[in-house]
Amino acid sequence: MTVDRERYNESRLLDAAYLQFDIAAEKLGLSPGFRELMKSGQREFTVRFPVRMDDGSIRIFLGFRVQHSISRGPAKGGIRFHPAVDLDGMRALAALMTWKCALMNLPYGGAKGGVCCDPRGLSPAELERVTRRFTWEIAPLIGPDQDILAPDVNTDSSTMAWVMDTYSILKGYTVPGVVTGKPLEIGGSLGREAATAQGCVFAIREAAIVSGLDLEGAAVAVQGFGKVGFHAARLMAELGARVIAVSDSRGGVMAEAGLDIHAVRVHKQETGSVEGAPEALPITNQELLELPVDILIPCAIEGQITSRNAPRIRARILAEGANGPTTPWADDILAERRVFLVPDILANGGGVTASYFEWVQNTQKLFWSEEDINKKLDSVMTRAFREVYELSRREGIHMRTAALMLAMGRVAEAKRLRGVFP
C-alpha cells in the first residue's frame, strides 16, 4: 500500500490528520484491517440543544463529542467553543489526542468535543448556560473512568468548574475527576494552567540542545496569546530568550529588542488584544510566522503553516504549541529547508500530561507540590522528546512521522493484545 497524497485536500484538518496517519501507518507496516480500525474513530456523538438567551429568545446550538479511542484507557481531551467547530474537525483533533496520550505514555485514549459558537458574542451567563446544557447532553458518555474533559480553544478553568458542577449534580455527589484543568479550590492541580507551555518549553530546550542553539538571547515569535501562548512567551523570556513578536486573533506586535511580556498581557487585559501594546510595532499574524527567528511557536489554531507560506518560514526550530498548526504538505517543505520540527503531539503534550497528574491526584485524594509536578512533567517531556528524536534519526524520517509511529505503535499493540471481540 502506498500513500496517496492526491486523495487529500490541504485545507481540511481531517485530511491532514489522515495523510499524517497514512504516512506513519505505511512506515509501521500496519495491516489494512488495523489501519482502518485506528484511522476512524470509535464513537461520535452529535447534539443539538436549546439555550435561553439573555433577551428571552431561544437559540439552538450544535455540539459534538468524539471518542476516537478507548483502547489504552478512558477517552481524554478538551472541549472548545469556536465558530469553526464541526464533526470532521473534532474527528481529527480526537485522533490527535489518542496519539498524544500514547506518545506521553498516559493510560488514556483520545477524545475532543466542542460547541459551534462564537463565545465573544455571548454574555458570561449565556456561556454558562451553553456549557451546562452541553454537559447535560453529553453526560451519558463522560465520567472519570469513561471520558475526561479539559480546556481547549476558548474554554478555561471556569468552564471546567461548570462542567464538573453540572455532572456532579446529575450524579448526586461531587465528581472532580470528570474534568481536568479545573480551579485549584475544587480539585485542580498546581502547575496545570501553565503546563502546556511549560512542557513545550522543556521540549524546546531539548530541541535547542540537539540543534546546537543557545537559548540565551535567541529570537522567538509566538502566535497566540491565550492559555498556551502567553505562558510560552513568558517562560521563554524567563529562560533569557528574546521574545520579539506575539499575536492574537486580531493582530500582533513586535519589538526587535524583545517585548515586555507582562506589559503586553496587561494591555491585552485592558483592551482585549495585544494589538497596540506600548513600545512595539504592529505586525500581522502572517508576518509573524515569516519572521527570521530562531524559534517559532504557533499557539493558536490549526492550519496556519501550509504549502503556501512554508517556503517563507525562516525559523530554525518550529515548536507546535497548538494542535495541527502545520499541514503535512508544509512539513515536506520545512524539512527541505531544515527547520527542526517539534510536532504538536510532542510539543503540547505537557497539557494532557498535567491533566493526568490532576486526575491521579483526584483519584488518590492526595495533592502534590508544584515542584513535584514540574519535575515529573520535565521527565515525561524529556523522555518523549528523546524517543522521538532517536527514532527520527535512526529511520531518517520527520519528527512528526517518528512521533506518530511511536504513538500509533503503542495503540496498535494495545489493540492487538486486547484482541477483537467477540
Closer residue to ligand GLU, CB minimum distance, 192 or 316: 192
Region from 113-121, 210-218, 309-317, 346-354 binding ligand GLU, contact rule CB under 6 A: 346-354
Region from 81-89, 197-205, 351-359, 410-418 binding ligand GLU, contact rule CB under 6 A: 351-359
CB of 192 to ligand GLU, least distance (A): 8
Q: How far apart are CA 382 and CA 376, in angstroms?
A: 10
User: Residue 86 in 3-state DSSP?
Assistant: coil
- DSSP lists the bridge partners of residue 82 as 116
Q: Which residues are catalytic?
A: 112
Tell me: does residue 351 bind ligand GLU (CB under 6 A).
Answer: yes
Site residues for ligand GLU, 135-154, by CB under 6 A, read: 150, 152
DSSP per-residue string spanning 344-362: HHHHTHHHHHHHHHHHHHH
Region from 41-49, 324-332, 350-358, 369-377 binding ligand GLU, contact rule CB under 6 A: 350-358
CB of 183 to ligand GLU, least distance (A): 15
CA torsion angle 224 226 232 236 (round to 10)? 80
Distances (CA, A) of 69 to 94, 108, 147: 8, 8, 10
DSSP per-residue string spanning 84-134: T--HHHHHHHHHHHHHHHHHTT-S--EEEEEEES-GGGS-HHHHHHHHHHH
Residue from the set 27, 72, 76, 182 that interacts with ligand GLU by CB under 6 A: 76
Site residues for ligand GLU, 77-96, by CB under 6 A, read: 77-78
Residue from the set 71, 323, 374, 392 that interacts with ligand GLU by CB under 6 A: 323
Residue with cell 546546537: 212
Region from 51-59, 129-137, 348-356, 400-408 binding ligand GLU, contact rule CB under 6 A: 348-356
Site residues for ligand GLU, 15-54, by CB under 6 A, read: none
CB of 92 to ligand GLU, least distance (A): 12
Closer residue to ligand GLU, CB minimum distance, 67 or 355: 355
Q: Name the DSSP class of 256.
A: T
CB of 244 to ligand GLU, least distance (A): 26
Tell me: does residue 355 bind ligand GLU (CB under 6 A).
Answer: yes
Q: How far apart are CA 355 and CA 101, in angstroms?
A: 11
Tell me: does residue 188 bind ligand GLU (CB under 6 A).
Answer: no
Region from 206-214, 306-314, 344-352, 366-374 binding ligand GLU, contact rule CB under 6 A: 344-352
Cβ-closest position to ligand GLU: 78
Report residue 189 as a C-alpha cell.
Answer: 492541580
Closer residue to ligand GLU, CB minimum distance, 299 or 317: 299
* Cβ-proximal residues to 206 (8 Å cutoff; 6+ apart), any chain: 381, 382, 385, 386, 389
Tell me: does residue 348 bind ligand GLU (CB under 6 A).
Answer: yes
Give the number of other CB atoms < 10 A from CB of residue 183. 15
CB of 393 to ligand GLU, least distance (A): 26
Residue 133 zone, left/alpha/beta (φ > 0; ψ -120 to 50; rest): alpha
Closer residue to ligand GLU, CB minimum distance, 323 or 362: 323
- DSSP lists the bridge partners of residue 64 as 46, 114
* Cβ-proximal residues to 339 (8 Å cutoff; 6+ apart), any chain: 313, 315, 316, 317, 318
Residue from the set 20, 67, 154, 180 that interacts with ligand GLU by CB under 6 A: 180
Of 254, 333, 320, give the one whose Cα is nearest residue 287: 254
Closer residue to ligand GLU, CB minimum distance, 113 or 328: 113
Q: Name the DSSP class of 179.
A: B
Of 306, 355, 309, give the one whose Cα is nearest residue 331: 306
Tell me: does residue 189 bind ligand GLU (CB under 6 A).
Answer: no
Query: Which residues are near ligand GLU by CB under 6 A?
Result: 76-78, 150, 152, 180, 323, 348, 351-352, 355
